[in-house]
């Protein structure tokens, strides 16, 4: 586990990463302290956009089966050119099971993403979102 954490861009103390997780391009991923990442988590930072990163703040809880997609393709471009942006998850956020967060999204501090949500726009601090696409629900 410690050797794995050394591969990441950065990783804080007291961070737990469960088995069965998949990290693509380790050096583009920053994880804070006190983070809990459950099994089946998958994270894909953009390879094409060099400045794009995945940042997970302190004391974030990530449930099983969550996917962070830092890259994709532009559906408005006939050649489906690559698109990629950073994803930011603020401190003390909770990301529910089997949810997906798309490139360019910031999840604010203390926000909650409900299980199964597909997040394509920013989530303000302290807001609960759910659904496909995710919208405020509480």
Kind of pairing between the strands at 128-130 and 135-136: antiparallel
Check residue 3 and give its pLDDT.
60
pLDDT tens digit string along 112-138? 999 999 999 999 999 999 999 999 997
Compute the mean pLDDT over every residue in the chain, rounded to the nearest whole number: 93
Which one, of 28, 29, 2, lies nearest residue 15 by Cα? 2
Residue 87's DSSP bridge partners are 54
Check residue 77 and give its pLDDT.
86
Percent of the chain with pLDDT over 70: 96
| pTM reported for the whole predicted model | 0.93
Domain ranges of the chain: 2-136
- Residue in the structure block whose two tokens are 């050649």: 79
pLDDT tens digit string along 17-43? 999 999 999 999 999 999 999 999 999
Query: Are 80 and 59 in contact, with CB atoms under 8 Å apart?
Result: no
Helix (H, G, I), strand (E, B) or coil at 28: helix
Name the token pair of 113. Answer: 């993403």
Query: Are 109 and 125 in contact, with CB atoms under 8 Å apart?
Result: yes
**Annotation: CATH topology of 2-136:** UDP N-Acetylglucosamine Acyltransferase; domain 1 (2.160.10)
Q: Is 76 a catalytic residue?
A: no
Catalytic residue among 13, 14, 39, 73: 73
């Amino acid at each position: 586990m410690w050797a794995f954490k050394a591969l990441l861009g950065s990783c804080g103390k007291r961070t737990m990463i469960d088995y069965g997780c998949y990290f693509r391009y380790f050096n583009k991923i920053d994880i804070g302290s006190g983070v809990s990442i459950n099994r089946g988590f998958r994270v894909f930072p953009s390879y094409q956009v060099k400045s794009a990163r995945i940042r997970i703040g302190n004391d974030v809880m990530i449930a099983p089966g969550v996917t962070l997609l830092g890259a994709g393709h532009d559906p408005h471009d006939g050649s489906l050119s690559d698109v990629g942006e950073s994803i930011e998850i603020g401190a003390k956020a909770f990301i529910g099971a089997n949810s997906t967060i798309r490139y360019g999204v910031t999840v604010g501090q203390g926000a909650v993403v409900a299980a199964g949500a597909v997040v394509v726009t920013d989530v303000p601090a302290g807001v609960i979102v759910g659904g496909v696409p995710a919208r405020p629900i509480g």
